[in-house]
Amino acid sequence: MITDEEKFEGRIIKGIGGFYYIKSAGSSCLLEAKPIGLFRHQHITPTVGDFVTLEREGEQYTMVAIQPRKNLFVRPPVANVDLAVIVFALKKPRPNTMLLDKLLVGCEAKGVRAVICFTKADLAGDKDRRILEVYSKTPYPVVTMAPDDDGALAELQGYMKDHTTFLAGPSGVGKSTLTNRLCRGKGMETGDLSEKLGRGKHTTRHVELLALEEGGYLLDTPGFSSLQLEDGIEADFLESLFPEFTLGQCRFNSCTHRAEPDCAVKAQLEAGTIAPSRYDHYVELYDELKRKEAIW
């Protein structure tokens, strides 16, 4: 039931046309609210995933405050994400490991834990599975999944339990199918939309948090097909976004892990404890960021 208190807390589940639909603690329905006009003057835009404060006046709800965000993504717009499931197929399409590593870097920069999910395991041969060895040398959990693989699905659900999660990856890898399996084929129920207005479900494509039976939310969105390297990432900070790199043990404190002598990261590479493709992508992204810094 909706509280009778004049002010209470909730979370934005979706937003359409300047209206926001908010789930309050202990309620199964969504409340429709508009933000206070002061937000516009302060250039504050409420975002799906925000934790907010509502005020109630009669049957009207107004969003009066947004709590500090853990993180914020721009495309698609969502806040306070805990977990990313990075979805790539082992085959058809062949995985683009540079894109995969860019997605991982983007997650690290935002403080979002990542799990790698490789789909179409039923189509993969030994050569296709070599990519699994690459990511076994990272701290990221790796789940391989075939159609109707309930064991792999349960493993993934275990990572997602009680978290706010998004799926990211290229087209054609099965993200939509995976979303339907994770949500048991259900989105928001029509009757859940608004206790105040009783409106049905909107058919417009939009960003929305879908409640998971195991607890937590899955972001249903037109797509996290890629994440751009954030403008705020400096080249010299990039090393910290590759968590398998051993840092602080090089001869030079300013080591870029490229051509310097006595580099601990290059020693890892030679010892085989980090994958050559991961190191190569680090170097390529480092150079890309340095070029951007030179332009700035």
Read off the pLDDT of residues 195-216 as tens digits, 9 standing for 90 and up.
343 333 434 467 899 999 989 9
**Domains, the chain:** 7-66 (2.40.50.140), 72-188+202-220 (3.40.50.300), 235-295 (1.10.40.50)
Choice among 64-78, 101-115, 226-240 with the minimum mean pLDDT: 226-240
User: How far from 104 is each of 86, 112, 121, 212, 253, CA to CA, in Å?
Assistant: 8, 9, 21, 24, 25
Q: Which two tokens stand for residue 114?
A: 């990542």
pLDDT in tens, 85-139: 999 999 999 999 999 999 999 999 999 999 999 999 999 999 999 999 999 999 9
pTM of the model: 0.86
Q: Which residue(s) pair with 168 in the sheet? A: 86
Whether the Cβ atoms of residue 9 and residue 51 lie closer than 8 Å to each other: yes
- Of 44, 54, 78, the residue nearest 220 (C-alpha): 78
Position 191 confidence tier, pLDDT thresholds 50, 70, 90: very low
Cis preceding linkage at 93, omega within 30 = yes
Distance of alpha carbon 148 from alpha carbon 43, whole angstroms: 46
> Beta strand 19-24 with 31-35: parallel, antiparallel or unpaired?
antiparallel
Residue 87, CB half-sphere, CA atoms under 13 Å: how many?
26
Name the nearest CA neighbour of 104 among 92, 94, 117, 93.
117
Q: How far apart are CA 34 and CA 210, in angstroms?
A: 21
CB 14 within 8 A of CB 206: yes
Q: How far apart are CA 220 and CA 208, in angstroms?
A: 5
Dmax (CA) for the chain in angstroms is: 71
pLDDT tens string 246-279: 999 999 999 999 999 999 999 999 999 999 999 9
- The whole-number pLDDT of residue 229 equals 58
Q: What is the mean pLDDT of the chain?
A: 87
Q: Is the pLDDT of residue 3 over 60?
A: no
Banded pLDDT at 28 (limits 50, 70, 90): confident
| Whether pLDDT at 227 is above 70 | no
Range among 4-18, 31-45, 220-234 with highest mean pLDDT value: 31-45
Encode 254-274: b = buried (16+ Cβ within 10 Å), e = exposed: ebbbeeeeebbbbebbeeeeb
Provide the 3-class DSSP secondary structure of residue 242.
Answer: coil
To which H or E segment does residue 287 belong? Answer: helix 276-295
- Residue 67, SS3 per DSSP: coil
Helix (H), strand (E), coil (C) string for 70-108: CCEECCCCEECCCEEEEEEECCCCCCCHHHHHHHHHHHH
Most confident of 28-37, 186-195, 215-224: 28-37
How far apart are the C-alpha atoms of 133 and 19, rounded to whole Å?
A: 47
